[in-house]
Amino acid sequence: MLADMETALDQRLDAVYVCSPSNTHIAMAMQAARRGVHLFIEKPLSHSLDGIDDLEREVEKRSLMVLVGCNMLFLGTLTRVKQILEEGRIGKIVSARGQVGYYLPYWHPNEDYRRGYSANSSQGGGVILDYIHEIGMIRWLLGEVSEVFCLKDKLSHLEIDTEDTAEILFRMRSGALAHFHFDYLQRSYRRSLELVGEEGVIVWDYIARTVEVYDKEDYHWHTYRENINTDLNQMYLDQMAHFLRCLEGKETPRSDLASAKIDLAIALAAKRSAAERTIISL
């Protein structure tokens, strides 16, 4: 794979998209960075923190731009949640509760799920790293994480060597508590987030494409619904447009190397917490 990449890099590329299994991301990104090529790296940044500091130094030395996959941050309903929070409509956030789950064999129905990276711990699989978008999302909405506690396990008959279920509790630096449920098991795809403030509530539903708000203005529920005809692929297209604008120097990456490293450190802290049955401070 790396030899093939060297052949590709000989074409004097402006940028490279690193969308391989997670355990190969850093080696491939470093190979491109040493040739002075800008980077788009799919999430998660890696399956460990090894080599990331070296990549950061190489990127800084060569003044390269790096965007790490953050497509959820371009989703219309989620940007609406961000706007409502910034408007202060539900007051100080005290807690959050989210979930994401879908039956792993349904992800790529024309492929054998047992051969995918999600099923293999050596390639960076497992629900905690697969759903790292939720970690980036909660940081985007509520700020930084100060503590992590996690329980995880393989509870199903899926033929995988990774965790298929995880319960993670975060304490945010703001003091708010956030709980997430991750799984590979729900036969119907579910993804949602509830934010509780001192003066209201926000309920975001990815599948229904809705944001419901019970706010301090009139204490009634208000529903914001994304146009059902909007292609969910649009958030990926918007992310790519953002990447091109970053290359042109018109915008700065919404999820740069430093931010993605924090997301990964939190995910790995969750894994360590589960192994040690203890709260991990960040």
pLDDT tens for residues 176-186?
A: 999 999 999 99
- The domains of the chain are located at 2-68, 71-281
Amino acid letter for position 86 = E
Over residues 107-115, mean pLDDT: 93
**How confident is the model at residue 1, as a pLDDT?**
52
Checking if the pLDDT of 2 tops 60, the result is no
- The domain defined by 2-68 carries CATH number 3.40.50.720: yes
**How confident is the model at residue 53, as a pLDDT?**
97
**How confident is the model at residue 216, as a pLDDT?**
80
**How confident is the model at residue 84, as a pLDDT?**
96
Checking if the pLDDT of 146 tops 60, the result is yes
- Both tokens of 195, joined, read 């934010």
Least confident of 48-57, 196-205, 212-221: 212-221
**How confident is the model at residue 8, as a pLDDT?**
74
User: Options 3.30.360.10, 3.90.1480.20, 3.40.50.620, 1.10.540.10; which CATH number does 71-281 get?
Assistant: 3.30.360.10
189-205 burial code (b ≥16 CB/10 A, e <16):
eebebbbbbeebebbbb
Over residues 52-68, mean pLDDT: 97
Over residues 214-221, mean pLDDT: 86
**How confident is the model at residue 3, as a pLDDT?**
60
Checking if the pLDDT of 229 tops 70, the result is no
**How confident is the model at residue 7, as a pLDDT?**
75
